[in-house]
Amino acid sequence: STQSTWGKKSPASRSSEGRTRKMRRLFFFSFICFLIVICALMSDCECRRRRKGAAKSDTKTTTKAKGLVLQKPAAKLQAKQKEEKKVPFTVYIQCKCDDFQRFTPILTDVVAHVGAIIDLQFVPIVWSYPGSKYGFTSTHGDNEVKGAFIYVCLAEQSSDSRKLAAFAACSLRSVFPFDEIPSNMKQCAAEQGYDTDRLNDCASGERGRALLSQAFQLSSASQVSWSPTIMVGGQFVCQFNTQNCFATSAQQYVARVCALYQGPQLPAACGSPQGSQSQSQSREYSGISYAPQQYDYGMQQQPLYGGGFYTGGSPSSSPQVYYTVG
């Protein structure tokens, strides 16, 4: 009787073992769930990391692609401009001026020899006049103002010195007072490959008005009122057909351009530099001596309306006579 009782478990003992088994099963399932959650989180993090890496890779690829399309050409253009170091050749003009016509053969000759290393810019000389038909006035009337609109718009299309010089010579083929201007300018522009429709839109619209307003500000700031007034490399050179002129031939202009040019290779017209290469000393080109500092009257280069440069600033007191009307 005693043995039989001893071998059997009491109800309390069986209840305790049942609770223990349940707790073990609960712990086991909880642990399994915990592992599943951890694995899910790790998988999610890995997916996010891969997506982020893929996005970064796409960004790099896009950046490289953009660089191929946009950045590299811009960098090449800047490098090319830096390498060329063209010499600013600025001519302040009135397009119906007979002295401008007399200067164009010289300019054409200069461009033929050193056109590749100069940045030719025409700056029309006009005066702001709100009460006038076009908002500006000029010495030779409204048609000259209309021609001035065309000149400032030419620079929007091309900075090719040869095309600009050829256009100027074409428009002045007749005799003073050049009644064909501005009607002949469309044909002259077409001969040089300009888009005449685009040129007309600019010259007759707000863009042309804005560009000519800037040209007026430039000529006023430079105190230039004589046509043509020529400046090379930011230095006053000539009020053409007056006594205030340091260059009267194409050869003399070429010598000045060659002396100022700092590009990698001199054109054949410049010959071989001899003597000192110092900027502050004379340099010999084509048998003509030129001292750059002799013609530097404190003029500063500033951005021009369509690109390039103009010579702005106030002249020093000593050469003030060179900026008065001859």
Question: Given CA atoms 200, 204, 205, 210 in this order, what sign does their dihedral have?
Answer: positive
Non-local CB neighbours of 99 within 8 Å, separated by 6+ positions: 227, 228, 240, 241
What's the pLDDT score for residue 131? 85
Non-local CB neighbours of 307 within 8 Å, separated by 6+ positions: 155, 159
Residue 90 has pLDDT above 60, yes or no: yes
Which of 120, 105, 91 has its CA nearest to residue 224? 91
Buried b (16+ CB within 10 A) or exposed e, 236-245: bbbbbbeebb
Confidence of residue 8 (pLDDT cuts 50, 70, 90): low
Residue 164 has pLDDT above 60, yes or no: yes
What's the pLDDT score for residue 47? 64
> What residue ranges in the chain does DSSP mark as E strands?
87-93, 118-124, 127-128, 136-137, 229-232, 235-239, 283-285, 288-290, 300-303, 309-312
Quick one: tokens of 167?
Answer: 């256009």
Report the alpha-carbon distance of residue 162 to residue 110 in Å, rounded: 10
Quick one: tokens of 302?
Answer: 């500033």
pTM here is: 0.61
CB 110 within 8 A of CB 257: yes
Non-local CB neighbours of 134 within 8 Å, separated by 6+ positions: 142, 145, 146, 149
What's the pLDDT score for residue 95? 96
Backbone angles phi, psi at 122, to 5 degrees: -100, 125
Which of 70, 101, 117 has its CA nearest to residue 228? 101
Residue 133 has pLDDT above 50, yes or no: yes
Residue 55 has pLDDT above 60, yes or no: no
Buried b (16+ CB within 10 A) or exposed e, 113-129: bbbbbbbbbbbbbbeee
Residue 279 has pLDDT above 70, yes or no: no
Confidence of residue 34 (pLDDT cuts 50, 70, 90): confident
What tens digit of pLDDT does each residue of 187-222 get?
Answer: 999 999 999 999 999 999 999 999 999 999 999 998
Backbone angles phi, psi at 185, to 5 degrees: -70, -30
Report the alpha-carbon distance of residue 159 to residue 106 in Å, rounded: 19
Burial label for 212, CB within 10 Å (0-12, 13-18, 19+), is buried
CB 285 within 8 A of CB 273: yes
What tens digit of pLDDT does each residue of 145-162 get?
Answer: 999 999 999 988 988 999
Residue 94 has pLDDT above 80, yes or no: yes
